[in-house]
Amino acid sequence: MAFKNSSIFTGMMLFIMAVSCTNPTNSGREIPPPPLHTLVERISLDNNSPAGSWITSETIWVVDDADDMVITYQVSGERAWIKDLVLDSLNEDPVGIWGTQETFWVADSRDNKLYAYATEDGRRKADSDISLNLENRDPAGLWGNEQFLWVVDTADDKLYAYNFTTLERVADEEISLHGDNDNPYGLWGDGETLWVSDLTDNKVYAYTLSTDARNSALDISLDSSNGSPKGIIGTDSTLLVLDETETQFFAYNRSIDGTVGARMSTADIDLFEVGSGAWGIWSDKSTVWISNTSSGTLAAYSLEDGTRESTNDIILSTYNQVPWGIWSDGSHFWVNEQIYNSTLFAYSRETKRRDSTKEITLTSQNAGAQASFGNSETIWVTSLVNDVLVAYNRSERTRDSSKDISLDTNNQVSRGVWANDEYVWVNNAASRTVFAYSIASGERVVSKELTLHTDNRIPWGMWSDGESLVVLDRNSSQTNLFVYPLP
């Protein structure tokens, strides 16, 4: 794994197995840092509180109402990661979700509102927000066609309808649910039939869209384990019912040609994601450290041959057990954290332990911060909600907005950064591009940018030896390192 001759490694893919070891014991009692209450306290790898769901040709989108996130999966059931979204700070009680190729909406049970986001990159589209009718004050599941969007109301036992063009209520298109369907939640349709889950009947009720009449022949009685049915999605032959308690989709046959309602357990999708594996990377050209969510360490490897160097592991704080990005000046490491994300944690390389005297308390601009980098004077930290690399003075550990770097509009959701004395490189999954910026001026430098390999679909941490740029990829259960010549 040495980088002595970078041309040898051009386009080469290296593999590092995710570390699996016992959590170290930390001596003493630590005081947890305060969370960023203005946004979210936790950006979860686990989808433990699933509510609404939506499916496109490639992606399953699941609202997590505890973490105020949309967590994404490939249609095969594997995590998608790059489309995960931290919702608007006002969208703090998310329930249902549905969308088009351009826009998706997330219902909020407190605000009587559907918050709009761009499907491509998750950007807020406030102009496309839909204010719900005052009678539709308890929204849940959503589904729509080319003209209308229907919204379940859990109190009125009704599907309210809204016009996509005018964003106004359309009473003539509304559907009153069957009397037994009096605890409705999830909603999905195939253009002819609408299915509505019921939280207490262990059943999904079917309605014919053209007549608004119930079609009991297509009702589905749920598995006894599927006792908390919430979101619903479907494919050509299958109906997938999301269970909040079991955190999985239960699959049922919905085809008239088949046995309607028959269980299809081989098509079930388990949402539980242990969150293990690598996220951030840094090296001193001899040893490489990789942050690992299952080991409680920055796990060390030989850069020459990839063998473990556990004696060089950095023991992470009790409150830094979900580490993301890493940066080091050679004597200290700075590590981003998912849960207690108001702190950029610091560790002494010499003692291999936390050094709170070097830590930085982040501002609300850094909610969801996933990576950081620095020089002798400044540390820059990414953000999931602002297109800015937010700057802090290292010695004073305070904000220094004069050194902020504004990112290009196509460089949103930055998860990996690396810099030398002149330039900073920031990766972006949607465009498969590593963008470059001048540290002195903050301006974008296109000539220093590079395009990622087609298999490098979920870029995360980055590091360079000055000749090659290494991009960590989380496209599967195995961590891949892609190596490129540094522009």
- pLDDT tens, residue order, the chain (487 aa): 333 333 323 333 333 333 333 333 333 444 444 433 222 222 234 566 788 889 888 888 989 887 788 888 877 776 666 677 778 889 989 999 999 989 999 999 888 899 999 998 888 999 999 999 999 999 999 999 989 999 999 999 999 999 988 888 999 999 999 999 999 999 999 999 999 999 999 899 999 999 999 999 899 999 988 889 998 988 878 888 988 887 788 889 886 565 776 777 766 665 544 334 556 778 887 888 888 665 678 888 877 666 788 899 998 888 887 787 888 999 999 998 876 678 899 999 999 999 999 999 988 776 666 677 888 888 888 876 667 888 899 999 999 999 888 888 877 666 788 888 899 998 887 778 899 999 889 899 999 999 988 777 778 778 888 888 888 776 544 556 788 888 8
CA distance 108 to 119: 18
Matching fold, domains 6-37+275-485 and 50-270: yes
The answer to whether domain 6-37+275-485 has CATH 1.10.357.10 is: no
pLDDT confidence of residue 384: 66
Phi/psi of residue 358, nearest 5 degrees: -105, 0
Nearest to 393 by CA among 356, 358, 423: 358
What six digits make up the tokens of 135?
């009678």
Query: Looking at domain 50-270, what is its CATH homologous superfamily?
Result: TolB, C-terminal domain (2.120.10.30)
Nearest to 386 by CA among 401, 399, 369: 369
pLDDT confidence of residue 39: 22
User: CA 110 from chain center: how many Å?
Assistant: 23
Label residues 361-378 b or e (16+ Cβ within 10 Å = b).
ebbebbbbbbbbbbeeeb
Query: Whole-angstrom distance between the N-terminal and C-terminal Cα of the chain?
Result: 20
CA distance 163 to 70: 24
Q: Where are the domains of the chain?
A: 6-37+275-485, 50-270
Residues in the chain: 487
pLDDT confidence of residue 72: 83
| Torsional sign, CA 214, 215, 218, 222 | positive
CA distance 106 to 390: 28
CA distance 373 to 418: 6
CA distance 264 to 20: 34
- The single residue listed with the structure tokens 């505890």 is 66
pLDDT confidence of residue 475: 58
Q: What residue spans of 405-468 are helical by DSSP H?
A: none
